[in-house]
Amino acid sequence: MQRLTWFLIVTLVLPYFGFTNSPATSDHVRKVIIDAGHGGKDPGNLGTRRYKTYEKDIALSVALETAKEIEKEFPDVEVILTRDSDRFLELYERTALANREKGDLFISIHCDAVDNNSAAYGTTTYVMGKNHDDENQVALRENSVILLEDNYKEKYEGYDPRKPESYIALTLYQYAFQNQSIELAQIIQNSFKNDVGRRDRGVKQQPLYVTSRCSMPSVLVELGFLTNSKEEDFLLSLLGQKKMAKSIATSFGLYKSRRELNSLEGNTTLDTKRIKENKSKKQNSKAIFCVQLSVSGLKKPVNEKPFSALRNVSVKKEGRLYRYLQGEYNAKPKCDSALTFAKKNGFTDAFIVAYKNDKKISLEEAKRLNQ
Are both 257 and 289 inside the same structural domain?
no
pLDDT digits (tens, 9 = 90+) for 207-248: 665 455 677 888 999 999 999 999 999 999 999 999 999 999
- As a whole number, mean pLDDT of residues 103-115 equals 92
What is the predicted pLDDT for the residue at 212?
53
Q: Are residues 89 and 222 in the same domain?
A: yes
The pLDDT tens digits for 307-318 are 888 888 999 887
Helices (H), 197-278: 209-212, 229-236, 238-265, 270-277
Structural domain boundaries enclosing 277: 270-369
**Final residue before a domain boundary, out of 224, 248, 263:** 263
How far apart CA 261 and CA 111 sit, in angstroms, is 32
| Tally of domains within the chain | 2
pLDDT of residue 360: 85
Q: Looking at residue 289, what is its pLDDT? A: 92
Both 259 and 274 in a single domain?
no
Are 213 and 148 members of one domain? yes
- Phi-psi label, residue 346: left if phi above 0, alpha if psi -120 to 50, beta otherwise: left
User: Are residue 213 and residue 322 in the same domain, yes or no?
Assistant: no
Any idea what the CATH number is for the domain that residue 114 is in?
3.40.630.40
Please tell me the predicted confidence (pLDDT) of residue 62.
Answer: 97
Region 30-49: mean pLDDT is 92
Asked if 215 and 104 sit in the same domain, the reply is yes
pLDDT for the residue numbered 191: 94
Distance between CA atoms of 193 and 222, rounded to whole angstroms? 13
Q: Do 244 and 309 share a domain, yes or no?
A: no
CB 124, CB 114: distance < 8 Å:
no
> 2 pLDDT exceeds 70?
no
Percent of the chain with pLDDT over 70: 71
Pair (152, 220) in one structural domain: yes
- Could you tell me if 237 and 281 lie in one domain? no
Q: Do 13 and 145 share a domain, yes or no?
A: yes
124 pLDDT band (50/70/90 cuts)?
very high
Question: Which of 233, 263, 293 is the last residue before a domain boundary?
Answer: 263
Co-location of 251 and 276 in the same domain: no
Residue 176 has pLDDT above 80, yes or no: no
Instruction: Check whether 106 has a pLDDT greater than 80.
Output: yes
Q: Are residues 258 and 279 in the same domain?
A: no
At which of 263, 296, 325 does a domain end?
Answer: 263
The 3-state DSSP class for residue 126 equals strand
- Confidence band of 18 (pLDDT split at 50, 70, 90): very low
